[in-house]
Structure 1
Amino acid sequence: MTRSLVSRSDARVAPRTPVRSALPEIERIRNFGVVAHVDAGKTTLSERILVLTGRLRRAGEVHHGNTALDHQKAEQEKGITITAATVRCLWDDHALHLVDTPGHVDFGVEVVRSLRVLDGAVVVLDGVAGVEPQTETVWRVADTRDLPRVVFVNKLDRAGASFERTVHEIERTFGVVALPLVVPVELQGASEELVLLDVVAGQLLRWTDDEGRVLVREALPSSPSSALRAFADASREALVETVANHDDAFAELWLAGSASTEALVAAIRRGTIARRVVPVLGGSAFQNRGVQPLLDAVVSYLPSPLDRGEVVGVSSEETTEDDAELPRRAPSDDAPLAALAFKVVHDRHGALVFVRVYSGVLREGETVRRARDGKTFRVGRLVRLFADRREPLSAVHAGEIAGLLGADLVTGDTLADPNHPIALESVHPPEPVMELSVEPERSKDRDRLGEALRRLLVEDPSVRVRVDEETGQTLLAGLGELHLEIATRRLREDHGVEVRLGRPKVAYRETLPSVIEHAAKLQKQSGGPGQYAHVVVRVGPAEPGEGLVFSDRTVGGSVPKAFVPSIEKGLHDAMTRGPL
């Protein structure tokens, strides 16, 4: 394998990385998303990562509207990320597939479908604000995918920021064991400078240039009376003890007095991948302080596709969820192809499908099977993604993320070897909460509006379109007012259809506050054995967004099974409307 040219953070300058290099081994791949509450600094952090890994010469700024990742016009105008951007870069001989996701709640589908195909996450927190509402939302989404994560406490250069308070808030809010690995320290005569302590290595981290590219590692004072030395020793002792409490192998080494730094790093990696611990690092993305150690942490602690293990297909007509015959694919080029389309966009070049390959190799010109309907098609052009730029590829290997041009696919489609079919779990977008009416400005554009809405549904599965049975209006539903604003803007700018909007209608989510039980008896005697039935319907609240969970617990045959589907349908119909 040809090794890349990017050095670790103990180098003074990270040299520029060639865009094309030999394929890294699968254990050297890291697929991760950058997630957070809006304005926590995700895109600023991602831009600095691209500079340090050589993909950009100079970082753009969100407030200037010139970032490489927020390339859409609406993103640049509003200063927020609207659609997830994917880029591949290299660090320390590892291939990083980074996905910068939106932080605004209205664009939660981008987080859901991105984390569906990623192996880990970097959660960015504002060191002043701490854990915010959308932080909790994206954390729950990561929990549903069982994703290991690393936390970056950002904006520690600002007044009111507190690393220690944020760490405690992480533990209290999410019930996790946080491991402070890179923490801020105060030095005499350096009040304006953000200096960090690498707790694992026992070194000070300082940057000697304004752009934050030149990182210098300094030894700690040797004097036992030094307050800085005492703080560093206490921090490392607390870290080692916490890791030992959650890793038996490391605990044995620690008790034997032979716990090396390498053993500590390995134990932290095991604990992170098993989700027993969460590494936490501090810094300032805007000042480019702490980004190199974060990249080192991504490489050292987040899993490779190999660590995530084999992917399991979903049940079909021939199998059940408990069936041991469910198809499985190992993360290897030698296994049959299994890939998932997790995003579709349309532009002037046509359809671009974002694909994660779990096993096998997706090659240009080869025939693959679409699991949704069993149809086969020939793979068109493959590209490596860099925001809105594309770099040609001949093949996409196991563990990689890339783009497929011109394919007739939707979000959640599985691509498989025709001789070894498999269907992977799809993408489950959040349900819409608001809708408004949408009509073409000109009646002759009605057909064009229909086609534009069809494409919009393919691109954004969290959008819903329906026709009101009473008024005949076309209703567009989404995750919030901003979501619908951007959706209608795309109808105008991307599809050239001028539309007129009606008043938003909020779709209230209702449920029962408690369990309610209703019983009915039938007792009829007219000669012979007679008729008797006792039916109880018990209805109660479910988890938010779970919908109707129906359970048939009839026994004895008094209620014919043929009646059960009608009962379930009646309950579904009753759920469509409520008092609000």
Structure 2
Amino acid sequence: MSTDLTKIRNIGVIAHIDAGKTTTTERMLYVSGARHRAGEVDRGTTTTDDDAEEQERGITIYSACVQFPWKDVSINLIDTPGHVDFTAEVERSLRVLDGAVVVFSAREGVEAQSETVWRQANKYKVPRIAFINKLDREGADFEAVFEEIEKRLGAQPLALQIPAGLGPAHVANPFRGVVDLIAMKLITFPEGKEGREFITAELPEDLLPEAQLWREKMLESLYDYSNELMELALSEEPIPEQLIRSVVRDATVHQQVQPLLCGSALHGIGVQQLLDAVAAYLPHPLEMPPVEGHEPVKSGKSDHGRRKGAVEAAAADQTGKKLVRKPDPNEPFCGLVFKILPFKTGDLYWVRVYSGEIKPNSRVLNAGKDFKENVSQLWRIHATKKDEQLQGAQAGDIVALLGLRESVTGDTLCDTRAPIVLESIEFPETVISVAVEAESSGDKKKLGETLDMLKKQDPTFRYEENEETGQTLISGMGELHLEVIQHRLERDFGLKIKVHKPRVSYRETVGGRAEVTGECNRLINGAQHTGAVKLRVEPFTPTGPLAAKLPPVVVSVDPGHGLPDDLLNVVIEELETAAAGSGTLGFPLMRLKITLVGGDVHETDSTDIAFRTAANLAFDKALREAGQVLLEPIMKLELSTPEEHLGALVGDLQQRRAIIHQTEQRATDTLVQAEAPLANMFGYSNASRSLSQGLASFSMTPSGYAPAPDEVLRVFLGD
């Protein structure tokens, strides 16, 4: 029997690290009856943080999926990491979800990773609810966080609740419950963290004035989305609760507002109301637009072949004929692989089903790569493990498939008779590397096989082997990311490895514009090969809607190039291959545009070999003449510290070549926003702890690349 899609909510819980995502998820499972006791992060007893590393560190590293009922709705919930090193887990989750709950700490407010996850939700057009957590904490400030969400995130928060009191039990007016602005009731939770019950009562006199002000603010925001609401207000007639809720739902689904609720997940305050809001305001699969894709284009080239060329090609390459799939079990099947986990019986592929149905022992098409896969089993996911074997899944479901072999994260699976390729998932580039080597020759082969498996699971993990040194360079998103990989190699796979100092992933570009000619005039095996290629190389930073689709190096062709098609194709292919490699310093190229201006063709002696050679010579010559520029990764830093340690921490940052952009007071702490080169931030966690007696906290997110100082460039030039 088909599931009623209107009763499904596919949601994620996203936030900055330590805002309380996992605690909120645990409390949701508890109040829904899915768990008999709420797990605690500090004790390592949470459902979704079931990895040993997560329990040891008290943070989420891997996204985990749980399904539970809430009243008449079935919720598929993905708990995601808050640490920037694991932002890929958020990226892949938001790509397949219909809604999100964004958690903010009432004390720290909007933090660096809060901005990142909000932007990711914007990118995938995910409707969301905001939840201000930890209102029972010292320094909690509901209004300040509300304003930050509005200003720093460019959001449209709509407060449906306000707190009754603020702060811990020992203050004069502690946080004791929430005020429902739609029903104008006070909701309290007498049993605290151990209970599921709450009491709804009339508002006391001391809360009424503030509640009325916030309610009026809420209604004024909603007048823009409902003429009926506006007319009732103008005629001073009572506004039905159900009408308000209906308008809130419509505005939320269309991403015009973000309902805002509040509470304390740790102490069991406000979580039932948050679940009510998830069911009432976040969309079900039928309310999401039909998923868009395109017909697979068979180019005859392998996936590992040429990069995209000209600017125009970057856009055209994305689309064959445009196709859509409605969230309907009667449509042809299509789904997206968004996560892969290893199991002894075979890898487990997490798939969001967008249309149609899928059953065990069926055959599906990987349309983007044009091969077929067998689906032997379907499983319901609980945390990161198989939970319940299924006899089928349909549009709107998130399930795990067993039996696939070659598909990877971001691949589309579909009906073999109705091919479609959905937009894949884009992941950020790695910024840091360390060299590792197996201590014994017996472990060397096992290390390679293990790294292959980890790379398949984690799209932001890379590795390459250096046959000369015997070392393997592993690359990731930060020190913590690589530390977790190292621990997995040692603990989970029993490998004995040596780990060397971390290295920064530099990039190269050019400082100016150069126009050069590369010539080939050679006698090879008795045959003359003659040709000349003229190139222009210049710095190029793409902007506008196409920017994200363009490769790091753009290869284009001047309309007056004058080369015949066969030689033009040879030159373009050679330039694209060269652009995908390294620059003169040995680092990947970016922010660069190469234009084929023209070439000289000999009547009898021009060959493919000649023009490939000439293109390579011109490329190398152009890079050198345009001037080498080394680009280093820059991190955006947000530091929170008590005032008395500010001077020491700022002084340390300045020694690390940091640029301080802003300092502001937030509750009892000072917030510092800065940018610093990643190369100078190694070991900063220990340094900041030492300088602040353990009282400072910070977060770093990649900000981009900037030219490195001359002294750093000279190191690589060997001066």
TM-score by shorter chain over 0.5: yes
Corresponding residue for residue 217 of structure 1: 200
C-alpha change, 1:138 and 1:510, in structure 2 (3 Å) is: farther
Corresponding residue for residue 276 of structure 1: 256
TM-score by length of 2: 0.70
C-alpha change, 1:209 and 1:258, in structure 2 (3 Å) is: closer
2:54 to 64, 68, 75: 75
Corresponding residue for residue 448 of structure 2: 450
Structure 1 counterpart SS, 2:110: coil
CA distance in 2, matches of 1:434, 1:235: 47
Corresponding residue for residue 186 of structure 2: 204
Corresponding residue for residue 106 of structure 2: 127
Determine if the alignment matches structure 1 residue 171 to structure 2 residue 150. Answer: yes
Task: After TM superposition, list the pairs within 5 Å mapping 1:98-113 onto structure 2.
Answer: 98-113=77-92
C-alpha change, 1:383 and 1:202, in structure 2 (3 Å) is: same
2:333/2:355 contact within 8 Å kept: yes
C-alpha change, 1:369 and 1:571, in structure 2 (3 Å) is: closer
Give percent identity, aligned residues only: 40
1:350/1:406 contact within 8 Å kept: yes
Determine if the alignment matches structure 1 residue 143 to structure 2 residue 155. Answer: no
User: 366-375 vs 483-492, which deviates more?
Assistant: 366-375
CA distance in 2, matches of 1:193, 1:400: 38
User: 152-161 vs 194-203, which deviates more?
Assistant: 194-203
Corresponding residue for residue 383 of structure 1: 379
Structure 2 counterpart SS, 1:111: helix
Corresponding residue for residue 27 of structure 1: 6
CA distance in 1, matches of 2:342, 2:124: 28
CA distance in 2, matches of 1:342, 1:352: 11
1:555 to 559, 562, 568: 559
Corresponding residue for residue 460 of structure 1: 458
Q: Which runs of 5+ in 2 are unaligned?
A: 300-315, 519-532, 590-628, 631-712, 714-719
User: 262-271 vs 247-256, which deviates more?
Assistant: 247-256
Q: Which amino acid aligns with 1:132?
A: E
Q: Which whole-Å deviations, capped at 9, do the CAs of 1:384-426 have from their partners, x for residues lacking one?
A: 1111351121111210111122321321222211111112222
Corresponding residue for residue 576 of structure 1: 588
CA distance in 2, matches of 1:356, 1:25: 17
CA distance in 1, matches of 2:343, 2:104: 33
Structure 1 counterpart SS, 2:125: coil
Corresponding residue for residue 498 of structure 1: 496
CA distance in 2, matches of 1:321, 1:102: 33
Q: Which whole-Å deviations, capped at 9, do the CAs of 1:276-296 have from their partners, x for residues lacking one?
A: 111111110100101011111
Deviation of residue 250 (structure 1)? 4.2
Deviation of residue 557 (structure 1)? 4.5
Corresponding residue for residue 287 of structure 2: 307
2:54/2:61 contact within 8 Å kept: yes
Q: Which whole-Å deviations, capped at 9, do the CAs of 1:96-122 have from their partners, x for residues lacking one?
A: 100000111111111111111111111
Corresponding residue for residue 356 of structure 1: 352
Q: Which amino acid aligns with 1:134?
A: Q
- Alignment coverage as a number of residue pairs: 544
CA distance in 2, matches of 1:510, 1:411: 28
Corresponding residue for residue 66 of structure 1: 45
Q: CA RMSD in A?
A: 2.9
2:324 to 287, 307, 328: 328
User: 414-423 vs 460-469, which deviates more?
Assistant: 460-469
Determine if the alignment matches structure 1 residue 194 to structure 2 residue 176. Answer: yes
Q: Which amino acid aligns with 2:182?
A: V
C-alpha change, 1:244 and 1:511, in structure 2 (3 Å) is: farther
Q: Which whole-Å deviations, capped at 9, do the CAs of 1:188-234 have from their partners, x for residues lacking one?
A: 9983452210111211111121324111111225xxxx342222222
2:506/2:588 contact within 8 Å kept: no
Q: Which amino acid aligns with 2:491?
A: E
Q: Which whole-Å deviations, capped at 9, do the CAs of 1:417-473 have from their partners, x for residues lacking one?
A: 111111222222221111111222210222222211111111111110112476453
Corresponding residue for residue 540 of structure 1: 540
C-alpha change, 1:362 and 1:252, in structure 2 (3 Å) is: farther
C-alpha change, 1:376 and 1:318, in structure 2 (3 Å) is: closer
TM-score by length of 1: 0.86
C-alpha change, 1:46 and 1:121, in structure 2 (3 Å) is: same
Determine if the alignment matches structure 1 residue 411 to structure 2 residue 391. Answer: no
Corresponding residue for residue 476 of structure 2: 478
Q: Which amino acid aligns with 2:251?
A: G
Q: Which structure is higher in RCO with an 8 Å CA cutoff and minimum separation 6?
A: 1
Q: Which whole-Å deviations, capped at 9, do the CAs of 1:47-87 have from their partners, x for residues lacking one?
A: 00001111110011111111111111111111111111100
Determine if the alignment matches structure 1 residue 292 to structure 2 residue 289. Answer: no
CA distance in 1, matches of 2:93, 2:8: 16
Structure 2 counterpart SS, 1:183: strand
C-alpha change, 1:520 and 1:365, in structure 2 (3 Å) is: closer
Structure with greater strand share of residues:
2
